[in-house]
Amino acid sequence: MKCPVCGEDCVSMAHELLDRVPSVFSPCPDCPSRILDKGIPPPSDGYREPCRCGKRFIDEVYAHIYAVLVSEGAFTGTEPLKTVGTPLVHPGFYMQSPPYLPANSLVLLSRPMEKKAASRIIQEVPEVRGVIKYENFIPGVVDPDLSAPPRTYELLAGCDIRANIFPSRAGPVVLYQQQSKTHIEFPRMRNPKIESVEREIARIHPEWFTDAFCGIGKLGLVAGRSGIAHVVMNDAWYAAAFFAAYNTLVNKEFFKVDEVRILADYAKMAEMPVIGEPKLIAETGGEQDIRVYQGDYRRLHTILPALPVLAALDMFEKDDPARSAEALRIWREQVPGEAFIP
How many residues in the shown chain lie near Zn ion by CB under 5 A? 11
Q: Specify whether the backbone of 22 is left (phi greater than 0), alpha (psi in -120 to 50) or beta.
A: alpha
Cβ at position 91, least distance to Zn ion in Å: 14
Q: Using the rule CB under 5 A, is 10 a contact of Zn ion?
A: yes
**Chosen residue from 24, 69, 132, 159 binding Zn ion by CB under 5 A:** 159
Pairing state between β 106-110 and 128-133 = parallel
Fill in the amino acid letter for 235.
D
The yes or no reply on residue 103 touching Zn ion (CB under 5 A) is no
Draw the binding track, 241-260, toward Zn ion (x: CB under 5 A; -: no contact).
Answer: --------------------
Name residue 321's beta-bridge partners: none
What gap in Å lies between CA 139 and CA 215, rounded to an integer?
Answer: 12
Q: Determine if 31 is a binding residue for Zn ion (CB under 5 A).
A: yes
C-beta separation of 235 from 274 below 8 A = no
| Distance in angstroms (rounded) separating the CA atoms of residues 57 and 151 | 33
Residue 319: CB minimum distance to Zn ion, A:
33
258 vs 265, beta carbon nearer Zn ion: 265
Contact mark string toward Zn ion, 203..232, x via CB under 5 A: ------------------------------
Q: How far apart are CA 285 and CA 252, in angstroms?
A: 11
Interface characters, 39-78, with Zn ion (x: CB under 5 A)? ------------x-x-------------------------
- In angstroms, the CA 323 to CA 310 distance is 20
Residues at the interface with Zn ion (CB under 5 A): 3, 5-6, 10, 28, 30-31, 51, 53, 159, 161
